[in-house]
A and B are shown apart, each in its own frame.
Chain A
């Protein structure tokens, strides 16, 4: 189980990247996180929706109800232009962080 601290900081990054290429709804997002991390990250649903709304309030994602003929309607979230920019920045920060940690740990061991 990954450390809680890491999870908190990266939650936003996760959501943003998951909606980068196509819009998704809340349940879909929670399932994807679960499957793609091979169960390492399990998002508590209680924090999912508040997070989604916080991101929406900041203008990084946009939620819209979609009604198809055969199904009940569901709310899809997609990335906005500003969200795209934030995602790029957060990815960069995350990468730098991971590399820095790696350098430190490698030196110590090396």
Chain B
């Protein structure tokens, strides 16, 4: 059980990134007790959404959560988000614009809501449950204003920098393939669009500093990050000193102009790993690149692949399945906190978190 200690003071800002190996959640204290939450994964000790377990631990009440953002529908980013939505009913809920402005995309959520196809596209099911239970959800896309409030004498502005209109077209074309067109067609799994062009990148202008949350946005051609960094309006956002790196530090989530145009020199980079079979992020090359660009970088969970099975189970399963490795190497959190008057973030690592 992690002991997080006391929460931030009213005149402090904070970002805490949670991750068990497969999963990511972020909680941000904007000052004066105002919180926003981005994405969700499960804290295994409490079997609760990680951000909720943290807020409970530090005594934050439901009314203090002002906004929840589901940056995209992938299972590792939204597990438990429907539960989180129930726990904070007065928080505005934001979902990627692609799901809410197009009938085909909404139909995708409806099709994979869990009614007809249990356990297929669990992420879609989570978002469906949120939308079904709320009166209103808000669509976030490039240049959307998510939240604006006053704290500690500053105006805090939270905006979304993606998805771009061009990315909408590709995303919807992908989702449309998995819509049930007629009876008699087998229900199939709906894989995630690769590369991820539909994720919501969030910029938090604290007034005295800024934070950039890269979600899982990737880059290809003139979509994704290329579109974002080429956009004048996005480029005019105050540069950030903290960058929750995109797509678990992958090469496809990297763009040089993020580092030169959107971040201050030597930013602090918290991140979560992605452990899913042979596809593990960040790779050794990714780590080298990140360490060269960041002032310091931290990851929420260690990278051990050793199976966590007793001898008999390991032997029996190993007869059928080779290359066994566990998905979650350990739940951890990276927390950055500072006073609004201070330029320096204080880093604290919890659980399995470690410096990159």
Tell whether A pairs with B: no
